[in-house]
Structure 1
Amino acid sequence: MDDEIDTDERDTVLIVDDNAENRALLGEVLKPYFHVLITTRGEQAIKVCQTHLPDLVLLDIMMPEMDGYEVCLRLKSDERTQEIPVIFLTAKSQVADEQRGFDVGAVDYILKPISPPILLARVYTHLRLKQAMSDLASQNHVLEARVRERTRHLESLQNATIEAMASLAETRDNETGNHIRRTQHYIKSLAEQLVRQGLYAEQLSPETIENLFKSAPLHDIGKVGIPDAILLKSDKLTEDEFEIMKKHTEIGRNVILSVESELDFKYDFLQFAKEIAMSHHEKWDGSGYPQGLKEYEIPLSARLMALADVYDALISERVYKPAFPHQKAVRIIKKGSGTHFEPAIVAAFLAIESQFKEIARTYRDEGFHEDSFPSLAQGKR
């Protein structure tokens, strides 16, 4: 071992022993290689550790006032000092004594009388182990930061892709990207209000609500498969045309299924996207489409979107209808409680209808007027 070691770079070893001869021997062996601190009492050793944070502690067990077991236990119970490795110095060689030492947090035992080669070998071993663990922790922090950054990029890409897909459908339908944003915020507000009212708390965890927010823009993605002559028709649809229009729900579900089939793992938000795309035109009384589901047969995500989508249709101008004021839209939705919409969801809406109005104002389209919101003439397509 090289005696000419830069003191500033040397590890610090704290010796805790009430015996002067032991302290002298330990100091003589260690000082050529380490920065050495020495104390004679347990309380003093704890204060030194808290102040100087030595890299390793050599701790005698048999000391007055506070023995080594108690000192070690207190060091390990303090967040500031719990990572400092403690090696016991003792004449106790019984298995029970050694077990007690390991139980309170020691990493090793060195039996007295001290053998200098063994002392140096053990100290170096545990200092290297401590450094390796520190390096590993640092690497883990770096990796975790990289994973968080990668996840953030993937989420940004995911959100941008969702919005682009949804915007494609909305553009063909003469609707706007703001319709996407409004319905996202409507469905999130409704879900949060239901939880506040003590409803669906298990189904509507914060993570689920975030996934609903992400999936909402895909509710009408299936409109990309509807001919323009039907999708953009300003007059009332014929019965045959309406049957074709209804197929946008199944087309949307199938588009999302095709995306899922290409993935190696499952995204929860795609499950909600499928439910919403397929079932947001179902009605509480079973008179909706495409499957005629009723009440709780309709997925909760779709029941929420049904109200959010209709509200936005009511307050938004479309090629087939004018716009209704907010209060008229509220009256229509209230009237639809128990027929078109789940009563509990309507009640949640009525409790926060001012939030809906504010969302509509915040994400308004061009030509928006405060008291002249967007209608639902012959029904939302």
Structure 2
Amino acid sequence: MIGTHQDKQTVLLVDDGAENIDVLSSVLRPEYKVKAAINGERALQIAGADPKPDMILLDIMMSGMDGYEVCRRLKANPATAGIPVIFITAKNHEEDETKGLELGAVDYITKPISPAIVRARVHTHLALYDQNRTLDKMVRERTEELRQTRLEIIRRLGRAAEFKDNETGLHVIRMGHYSRLIAEVVEHGDSWSDLVFNASPMHDIGKIGIPDNVLRKPGKLDEKEWGMMHRHPEIGASIIGDDRSELLKMSREIALSHHEKWDGSGYPFGLKGEDIPLSGRIVAIADVFDALTNERPYKKAWSVEDAVQVIDQNAGSHFDPELVPMFHEVMPEILKIKEQYAESTAMMEEAAAH
């Protein structure tokens, strides 16, 4: 790879003999940017710093930390594990080469070196490394594209279900944000909070299977109609199905559990306390708060104060009593979300972009 100094790939030479480094450097410098380390500790420092070398040529017999240990540490560190290592050493027994390859080296060259062999091996393994990095990048990009597509499908399906009894579909957007805010206080990690946020819009997907005359009835439901309504968590779980995806697993978990109550009086299974998945307990608070503070076919919107009072009064019966204080903790952010995604035509266009 011949080009400007900045375009050249970097090879790190590790040897406690200055003469050996000079010989290898003279062989490689015309085509590569060369760095050097005279001991294992310094080699690990250079390899771990950015920009990282593209390849490491590593002597085995060095004072202090030997090459085998350097290689082992490089491969144990995710930041340096991918850098190809070639051992260059006077140790020429088969068991020495086998040990080096077992530690993760890509090749093994014995001293005294042949310049032509060193150049050929370095060129070959750098080309393979470049190819692998390109393929990894393509896989990551494709995986991210599929993840984003899946997220968008889930959001759209959640809104489709919500359109059946809420004409704007903004409920799933608001309560998704509310759920994430509460989940962040729980501190299970950002990835888990994001999972709650992205899965919660599917909580009522089962409403697709409920007749409109029941779902949109302006008055109270009779016993038979309540029986139909109580089926929507299981219908939702059936729609989502059993999938290995963490996102769909949590979507199913939330769909099944967000109507369970802390005291065991909820549905569909009458789960009690911590038998109810944490995600479902979080979504239960977010869902009820948003349902109370927005108009529905069967009721007017409640004030925030009245809705919060109901949640407080039902801590320990309907809601997890440890989550209710966390709900209060994020109330300022919740009110901002409530205002941003208010039930208005103007907000619908903004919501469609999220």
Deviates more, 1:348-357 or 1:71-80: 71-80
Q: RMSD over aligned Cα, in angstroms?
A: 3.9
**Superposition pairs of residues 230-269 of structure 1, within 5 angstroms:** 230-257=214-241, 260=242, 266-269=244-247
Counterpart position of 2:254: 276
- Letter of the 1:206 counterpart: D
Counterpart position of 2:76: none
1:218 and 2:218 correspond: no
Counterpart position of 1:353: 331
**Superposition pairs of residues 305-324 of structure 1, within 5 angstroms:** 305-324=283-302
Residues 210 and 229 of structure 2 are in contact (CA less than 8 Å); yes or no, is this contact kept in structure 1? Answer: yes
1:148 and 2:120 correspond: no
Give distance in 2, aligned partners of 1:215 and 1:343: 23
Give the 3 Å change call, closer, same or farther, for CA 360–134 of structure 1 in structure 2: same
Give distance in 2, aligned partners of 1:43 and 1:185: 63
Give the 3 Å change call, closer, same or farther, for CA 101–364 of structure 1 in structure 2: closer
TM-score, reference length from structure 2: 0.71
Counterpart position of 1:127: 119
Aligned partner of 2:177 among 185, 189, 195: 185
TM-superposed CA distance for 1:164, in Å, is 2.0
TM-superposed CA distance for 1:110, in Å, is 11
Counterpart position of 1:136: 128
Give distance in 1, aligned partners of 2:260 and 2:161: 20
Residues 169 and 220 of structure 1 are in contact (CA less than 8 Å); yes or no, is this contact kept in structure 2? Answer: yes
Counterpart position of 1:331: 309
Give the 3 Å change call, closer, same or farther, for CA 154–318 of structure 1 in structure 2: same
Give the 3 Å change call, closer, same or farther, for CA 107–121 of structure 1 in structure 2: closer
TM-superposed CA distance for 1:55, in Å, is 6.1
- Letter of the 1:179 counterpart: H
Residues 169 and 221 of structure 1 are in contact (CA less than 8 Å); yes or no, is this contact kept in structure 2? Answer: yes
> Residue deviations 1:114-138, cap 9 Å, x none?
xxxx999822112111111211221
Residues 90 and 112 of structure 2 are in contact (CA less than 8 Å); yes or no, is this contact kept in structure 1? Answer: no
Give the 3 Å change call, closer, same or farther, for CA 287–130 of structure 1 in structure 2: same
Give distance in 1, aligned partners of 2:322 and 2:173: 24
**What SS class does the counterpart of residue 228 from structure 2 fall into?**
helix
Give distance in 1, aligned partners of 2:121 and 2:158: 54
Give the 3 Å change call, closer, same or farther, for CA 82–131 of structure 1 in structure 2: closer
Give the 3 Å change call, closer, same or farther, for CA 87–329 of structure 1 in structure 2: closer
TM-superposed CA distance for 1:331, in Å, is 1.4
Residues 337 and 343 of structure 1 are in contact (CA less than 8 Å); yes or no, is this contact kept in structure 2? Answer: yes
TM-superposed CA distance for 1:240, in Å, is 1.3
> Residue deviations 1:290-316, cap 9 Å, x none?
222211121111111110100110111
Give distance in 1, aligned partners of 2:158 and 2:21: 66
1:42 and 2:18 correspond: yes
Residues 262 and 316 of structure 2 are in contact (CA less than 8 Å); yes or no, is this contact kept in structure 1? Answer: yes
- Letter of the 2:168 counterpart: T
Give distance in 2, aligned partners of 1:284 and 1:326: 23
TM-superposed CA distance for 1:216, in Å, is 0.4
Q: How many percent of aligned residue pairs carry the same amino acid?
A: 34
Structure 1 alignment gaps of length 5 or more: 1-5, 12-40, 57-67, 89-95, 112-117, 196-203, 370-381
**Superposition pairs of residues 9-28 of structure 1, within 5 angstroms:** none
- Letter of the 2:159 counterpart: S
Counterpart position of 1:85: 57
1:174 and 2:166 correspond: yes
1:299 and 2:277 correspond: yes
Structure 2 alignment gaps of length 5 or more: 9-16, 71-85, 93-109, 348-354
Larger radius of gyration: 1
**What SS class does the counterpart of residue 107 from structure 1 fall into?**
strand
Give the 3 Å change call, closer, same or farther, for CA 132–244 of structure 1 in structure 2: same
TM-superposed CA distance for 1:238, in Å, is 0.9
1:107 and 2:88 correspond: yes
> Residue deviations 1:48-80, cap 9 Å, x none?
96xx95669xxxxxxxxxxx9x94658745447
After TM superposition, what 4+ stretches of structure 1 lie above 6 angstroms from structure 2? Answer: 43-46, 118-121
Residues 252 and 278 of structure 1 are in contact (CA less than 8 Å); yes or no, is this contact kept in structure 2? Answer: yes
**What SS class does the counterpart of residue 128 from structure 2 fall into?**
helix
Residues 85 and 126 of structure 1 are in contact (CA less than 8 Å); yes or no, is this contact kept in structure 2? Answer: no
